[in-house]
């Protein structure tokens, strides 16, 4: 039994890491500097903050639209956005935005950029936010 557990744990860890961290051609996880540069290079874009409204009021990226990933109507709200515009998605640390980016991809959004490390990484890099 112990031998089976010691075999299954690394396999499970690999599978979870592979699935949760995958990107697809239309869904890319990017660094703070890449995110910032892509924002500058895409004048027609959607900046999507998927944190709660309370988190959003504590500080967010300029011109960000707040749609809470944990809300029951998340899919309905994002489905109404322009799927042809690049979407820049972020949350606090990158966990919710990874799930949100996967949902956006499934809904047919063409270009999704997910901020690795979320707004916490953004602020650690001394990038601007607004309240």
**Domain housing 74:** 23-124
Q: How many structural domains compose the chain?
A: 1
State the average pLDDT for the chain.
88
Task: Give the sheet arrangement for strand 46-49, strand by strand.
Answer: 27-30, 112-115, 87-90, 46-49, 65-66
pLDDT digits (tens, 9 = 90+) for 84-96: 999 999 999 999 9
Helix locations, 43-82, DSSP H: 53-57, 74-79
pTM of the model: 0.82
pLDDT digits (tens, 9 = 90+) for 46-85: 999 999 999 999 999 999 999 999 999 999 999 999 999 9
In a domain, 91, yes or no: yes
Two structure tokens written together for 45: 């874009």
In a domain, 129, yes or no: no
In a domain, 13, yes or no: no
In a domain, 12, yes or no: no
In a domain, 2, yes or no: no
State whether the Cα torsion 55-60-65-70 is positive or negative: negative
Catalytic residue list: 91
State whether the Cα torsion 69-34-40-120 is positive or negative: positive
CATH classification at residue 98: 3.40.250.10
């Amino acid at each position: 039994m112990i031998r089976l557990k010691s075999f299954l744990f690394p396999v499970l860890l690999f599978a979870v890491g592979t699935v949760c961290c995958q990107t697809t051609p239309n869904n890319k996880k990017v660094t703070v500097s890449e995110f910032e540069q892509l924002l500058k290079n895409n004048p027609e874009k959607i900046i999507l903050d998927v944190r709660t409204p309370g988190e959003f009021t504590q500080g967010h990226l300029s011109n960000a639209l707040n749609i809470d990933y944990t809300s029951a109507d998340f899919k309905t709200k994002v489905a109404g956005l322009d799927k042809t515009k690049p979407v820049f998605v972020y949350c606090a640390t990158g966990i919710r935005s990874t799930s949100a980016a996967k949902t956006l991809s499934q809904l047919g959004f063409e270009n999704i950029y997910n901020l690795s490390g979320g707004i916490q990484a953004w602020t650690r890099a001394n990038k601007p936010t607004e309240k």
